[in-house]
Structure 1
């Protein structure tokens, strides 16, 4: 079966994401941005827009869950996620349509038009529980039994989550999922990163060194503060407070089907763990001292006595039994996570080239990717080997301007039929990160490297995806799946990638197109092979 797809016009695209073919014009929509991937000449236009306030999109079928090694929707279709990170690293620690860190309807429209269906949206502990005490307060950092540090303000938490919810609802209007990510880098702004509030920094008196890059994270003050957090060995009960804010987050979003799930802690790391491995401390933090599970190689784990009996994952589960949990393994001083006593979880991986990260974030360089392919492949292979039957989602990669390497990592995700979330959409106080790594330029066009990211792919598969390939040079996508029902398999072919339309073909299936969307219907038991090519199908 063959079917020609034309580049959609705004009228053809009911959700307003895809713009007419052959446009190389940049539009600015009030409250946000939208980029066009096109020719060299760019004319900046101002378009008055008065979008309606974002309202939740009540679609029970949108709920996603982990089912074996796949993420599936309520009807049982496998869901493949492609998207971008949107993380505010400086005050007010959230993005909004009207604040200093602007993210509005134009951004959401551009993300939708690019075919992306997920945003990893950053939260900050400092935004939720800023508190009033300074670092090294004896009320927090002294030894002794855990006491309430008195820094939690329910109104501050509620007001902060109102702004997060505004963004979640704006994305949901466009059928874009949100993964809520409690973000941090080297633990605190005081160390050149972001994350923890000042009152949660227990440095043992070491001088705090704030650097323009993340090198402050290796200084004694940062390592002492991080160590106290992971051991939870001060009277302020740092992990208990972290669990408290997560319960507030999960309570707020427990009934929202457009929230994919929760990423409890970005990139756990520590160079000083006082005799307990970072692998163990990480799983104790996630699952608690009572039953932290086993290591990735099957060893029993023993947690410090100061760690809570139940971990942050149980804290979330105590108020939200439905959303997926996507804990991250330690990135320094540890390896992959082992099995933990929780269900509806997914493996959360970041795939960066270490040499490029060191160059960019610690040495102030621009990063590089030469020779990275082997390490990126090895990281994916290792993660898949230790997945314990869970689905996999790559929630960070990129942060560079090498189109070839971006295609390499995206291709690795295709090899394992898993989704990805690119770092990042735009610069929101990303200390040490390079603005040139974002796909969106200041002049509102998508950078040339977006060709590696904006691609055709199946978003919902009525069965199980068995193979996926996309060539960014030829813009040809091929996908095969094992159909388990006659529900439609949905494929997106963004007009950014196909400005002159596309031709969709499939064996053993019926094909229909509407704008930039392709629907493939096959009988259960069939193994359809679907191909998307640029240009119209032959008459």
Structure 2
């Protein structure tokens, strides 16, 4: 918030100074009328002056990072400044037109007021822009009453306690449970309930979702699934929710809970919806190609205004996709409000369920037709609407409590490793979790050019700094897809090692990928990209890479009393070392068949219980504690 205020004030004062001292005096002496371009240029320069110092200050305090990240960072800051300047310039159009007309028609004796107006119109216009922003970013829903979360304390479901954001003086906020323990949440994405478009009628787009999937996840030691849902399946007709589909979601949550796995409910989208595909015979300009619709919104909410279905630099930048997102953000025909209502319906269904970790509001939202505004300010407003609907629904259910709310930046973060985000303060809900997708050195666009704008480590650092700005925990909802280069294993392990160093959780993409998934290469001989692999098109099981299975199954604390201060876990063998401080029950996943050897300090009552694929170690902690498991 402080940084936002500093940049805003800097931009305003820079604009006022430029206008009053340089531009306005020249314009009042000029014989031609005031032009929009002089005003827009001034304000654009002011925007750059306002944001560039923030980047320099941030770099000096936090380091400029590795690879080419300083270049990427300054581009984002300048882009924000340019956007602010241009927007302010557009707001000034009525002033400019009026002043230009008067200068041509009024006698010179009456132009004294004109000179005054020329000098002060920009500051007034900038103030109007800030006021508009303040209105757009109105305070979010009320903070959860203390009793709302207290009602959840002590409730559990197969040892799964309700989750919330834990805040302690002098420490960064973390995800925790109602017993006051830090919870990392490590698991996998499940896409088997997504309503995909079907490029090949002979190939299924998803695998059936069964209890055996969760039994297998349990053997990995996973304690969370990010369950992808489709708005098109939830509300195929406006105002009518599909109860059969909701029952399938309920079954998936229940089956996961039976195997000790929390669920993050994710309203998923790729290319906005499956209804944005190009009509047969569509012709696109050079470097663009006809788009195929993937998944997301129902047909009635897919408003493209006739924009072309031609993908450029990726499927998500097609004009019709961006127009559809813009209409969602602008609440055209009330579709933004209906999206929020859909979240309210989901929240009502799971309001009292401790097995549901929380709600991921919208997967990789598109930047719309004005990136920087649509993908930050207006996206924040949409999120605020959804949160308001969720909290209202939870409060009406007996035993309901406020779940975590996971929010994402736009798809550009996944494609670049950085992007503008909803402004700090877009909602004042205390249960927010910042959840970018960390695909650096994986599917980011720089890799196609043979360069690295953001390394894996820099991607983490950027996400952590952004989370700190929000005062929220960090949890990566997607990662993986390192392809098939020779250093696949190196990148995979670097990601997990950094995750341990920072004591974070995440969900790898994806559990099972079907051969008919629109994101799968139609010529591929395997369903690549999944944890569980199959041949294509016949669907015969394939073994997963041994190093990947071992690394994903590594030992880690499912929940740790108080505060974790260090975590090291081998990706190749059973070797876990952790330290922390707090009082309560430590719960640790340990892979492997042989009985583990555990030792440490500050621990009493160490117990080992054999589970599918490994062991669950529990112990009571009091004050500072250490644990070594081999």
**TM-score, normalising length from structure 2?**
0.61
Structure 2 distance, partners of 1:112, 1:214, is 39
Q: Secondary structure at the match of 2:383?
A: helix
Structure 2 distance, partners of 1:421, 1:353, is 15
Deviations 1:122-165 (A, max 9, x none): 1111111223xxxxxxxxxxxxxxxxxxx2224x2x12101111
How many pairs were matched up?
Answer: 415
The residue that corresponds to 1:325 in the other structure is 405
The residue that corresponds to 2:103 in the other structure is none
Q: Secondary structure at the match of 2:437?
A: strand
Residues 522, 528 of structure 1: 8 Å contact kept? no
1:369 to 1:438, Cα distance in 2 relative to 1, 3 A: farther
Deviations 1:250-282 (A, max 9, x none): 111111110001011111221512883521111
1:467 to 1:514, Cα distance in 2 relative to 1, 3 A: same
**1:467 CA displacement:** 0.8
- From the CA coordinates, give the structure whose radius of gyration is larger: 2
The residue that corresponds to 1:514 in the other structure is 609
**1:346 CA displacement:** 1.7
Q: Is 1:128 the counterpart of 2:214 in the alignment?
A: no
1:240 to 337, 350, 357: 337
1:219 to 301, 318, 322: 318
Structure 1 distance, partners of 2:542, 2:212, is 10
**1:331 CA displacement:** 3.6
Q: Secondary structure at the match of 1:488?
A: strand
The residue that corresponds to 1:276 in the other structure is 373
**1:230 CA displacement:** 1.5
Structure 1 distance, partners of 2:161, 2:570, is 30
The residue that corresponds to 1:348 in the other structure is 435
Structure 2 distance, partners of 1:284, 1:113, is 41
Residues 372, 420 of structure 2: 8 Å contact kept? no
1:440 to 520, 532, 546: 532
The residue that corresponds to 1:176 in the other structure is 261
Matches within 5 A, 1:300-311: 311=385
Structure 1 distance, partners of 2:549, 2:566, is 23
**1:368 CA displacement:** 11
Deviations 1:20-67 (A, max 9, x none): xxxxxxxxxxxxxxxxxxxxxxxxxxxxxxxxxxxx985696211111
The residue that corresponds to 2:283 in the other structure is none
Q: Is 1:382 the counterpart of 2:465 in the alignment?
A: yes
The residue that corresponds to 2:386 in the other structure is 312
The residue that corresponds to 1:414 in the other structure is 500
Unaligned 5+ segments in structure 1 are 1-55, 132-150, 288-310, 534-539
Matches within 5 A, 1:93-108: 101-108=207-214
Structure 2 distance, partners of 1:405, 1:370, is 15
Residues 261, 326 of structure 1: 8 Å contact kept? yes
Deviations 1:273-299 (A, max 9, x none): 288352111111112xxxxxxxxxxxx
1:512 to 1:278, Cα distance in 2 relative to 1, 3 A: same
The residue that corresponds to 1:231 in the other structure is 330
**1:201 CA displacement:** 2.1
Structure 2 distance, partners of 1:92, 1:376, is 29
Superposed CA RMSD in Å reads 3.1
**1:406 CA displacement:** 2.0
Q: Is 1:62 the counterpart of 2:145 in the alignment?
A: no
The residue that corresponds to 1:267 in the other structure is 364
**TM-score, normalising length from structure 1?**
0.70
Residues 476, 531 of structure 1: 8 Å contact kept? yes
Deviations 1:322-350 (A, max 9, x none): 21111112242623652321122222221
**1:169 CA displacement:** 0.6
The residue that corresponds to 2:475 in the other structure is 393
Residues 214, 432 of structure 1: 8 Å contact kept? no
The residue that corresponds to 1:450 in the other structure is 549
Unaligned 5+ segments in structure 2 are 1-154, 168-172, 198-203, 277-290, 395-400, 413-418, 522-526, 535-540
Mean Cα deviation higher: 515-524 or 168-177: 515-524
Residues 200, 238 of structure 1: 8 Å contact kept? yes
Structure 2 distance, partners of 1:433, 1:261, is 29
**1:106 CA displacement:** 1.5
Residues 88, 430 of structure 1: 8 Å contact kept? no
**1:517 CA displacement:** 3.0
1:129 to 1:400, Cα distance in 2 relative to 1, 3 A: same
1:174 to 1:218, Cα distance in 2 relative to 1, 3 A: same
**1:109 CA displacement:** 0.5
**1:214 CA displacement:** 8.8
Residues 83, 422 of structure 1: 8 Å contact kept? yes
Q: Secondary structure at the match of 1:110?
A: helix
Q: Bigger relative contact order, structure 1 or 2, given CA contacts below 8 A and separation 6+? A: 1
Q: Greater share of helix residues, 1 or 2?
A: 2
1:512 to 1:286, Cα distance in 2 relative to 1, 3 A: same
**1:217 CA displacement:** 2.4
